[in-house]
């Protein structure tokens, strides 16, 4: 028993042992120096696989605009897209928290619009929380969603919905911009966010944010200093091919494996080897 553990009080379980991941467990992880994992998911099958593998948060990201719908950016993604795919992920997750992006155009207009959009996602999908790309000037929009009883993860640094305003895919938080990153992250915490995601930022700037905030941070391209880490699953498992961002580590090459399997299927069909007798019904 640690000196800080009251006599007779059972220790809180580690994150890996909880039955359903909730915001309180993520905060405990930061307080205890634990790390947690987050991975994107957009359908019931991957949600079930990732959930059983122990992923703590399943992010239904607006990255589906690129990885599922084939757009060049996340900007065309709608609330309808998000709610439909988030509902599928929620059906496949038993332990992981299901977190859903508010897409571009669904929250910037006013705090009331942000609340309406977040409420719709929560009601129609069965998700547990939303993520909002917001700097300090949109903190009131975030706070309104929190006041409505919806957990919010803030997203600062490189924000894909603002890629045109940011001048493209550029590392954030370098030099004088490090203070703005810290100010934005603090504004998200002050607005009531349970965590703040840092995307494509200097590792030094990310460390300053992690140290300054009481709530957990999640990194993607932010070094190893954040409490949590997130990757897009098609990148991590090698389903997407071609040049990868520096921050991506690929744990498998599913595109190569799938290509080989499909080529074998095509060859069997052309040769008549499939379907064989064991694949046919008789009588």
- Kindly list the catalytic residues: 199
Nearest to 235 by CA among 10, 12, 57, 61: 61
Report the C-alpha gap between 147 and 198 in whole angstroms.
Answer: 23
**Element spanning 19, H or E:** none
Residues whose CB falls within 8 Å of the CB of residue 156, separated by 6 or more in sequence, listed in order: 133, 134, 135, 181, 184, 185, 188, 196, 197, 198, 199
- Give 154's strand partners: 132, 196
Q: Helix (H, G, I), strand (E, B), or coil: what is residue 236?
A: helix
Cα radius of gyration (the chain) = 21
**Element spanning 255, H or E:** helix 254-271
Structure token pair of residue 74: 């996340």
* Residue in the block written with tokens 């949590």: 228
Nearest to 236 by CA among 221, 248, 220: 248
Report the C-alpha gap between 270 and 265 in whole angstroms.
Answer: 9
Nearest to 102 by CA among 78, 127, 68: 78
Report the C-alpha gap between 17 and 82 in whole angstroms.
Answer: 29
């Amino acid at each position: 028993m640690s000196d800080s553990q009251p006599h007779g009080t059972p220790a809180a379980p580690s994150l890996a042992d909880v039955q359903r991941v909730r915001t309180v467990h993520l905060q405990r992880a930061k307080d205890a120096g634990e790390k947690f994992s987050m991975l994107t998911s957009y359908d019931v099958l991957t949600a079930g696989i990732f959930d059983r593998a122990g992923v703590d948060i399943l992010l239904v990201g607006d990255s589906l605009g690129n990885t599922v719908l084939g757009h060049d950016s996340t900007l065309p993604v709608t609330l309808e897209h998000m709610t439909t795919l988030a509902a599928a992920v929620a059906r496949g997750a038993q332990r992981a928290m299901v977190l859903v992006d508010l897409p571009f155009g669904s929250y910037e207009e006013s705090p009331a619009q942000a609340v309406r959009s977040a409420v719709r996602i929560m009601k129609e999908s069965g998700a547990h929380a939303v993520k909002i790309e917001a700097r300090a000037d949109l903190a009131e929009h975030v706070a309104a969603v929190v006041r409505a009883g919806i957990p919010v993860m803030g997203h600062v640094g490189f924000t894909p919905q603002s890629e045109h305003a940011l001048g493209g895919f550029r590392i954030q938080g370098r030099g004088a911009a490090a203070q703005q990153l810290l100010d934005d992250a603090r504004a998200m915490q002050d607005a009531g966010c349970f965590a703040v995601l840092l995307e494509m930022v200097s590792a030094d700037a990310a460390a300053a944010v992690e140290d300054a905030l009481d709530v957990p941070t999640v990194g993607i391209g932010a070094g190893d200093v954040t409490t949590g880490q997130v990757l897009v699953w098609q990148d991590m498992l090698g389903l997407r091919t071609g040049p990868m961002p520096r921050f991506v580590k690929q744990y498998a090459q599913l595109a190569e494996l799938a290509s080989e399997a499909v080529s074998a299927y095509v060859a069997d069909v052309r040769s008549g080897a499939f379907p064989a007798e064991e694949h046919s019904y008789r009588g």
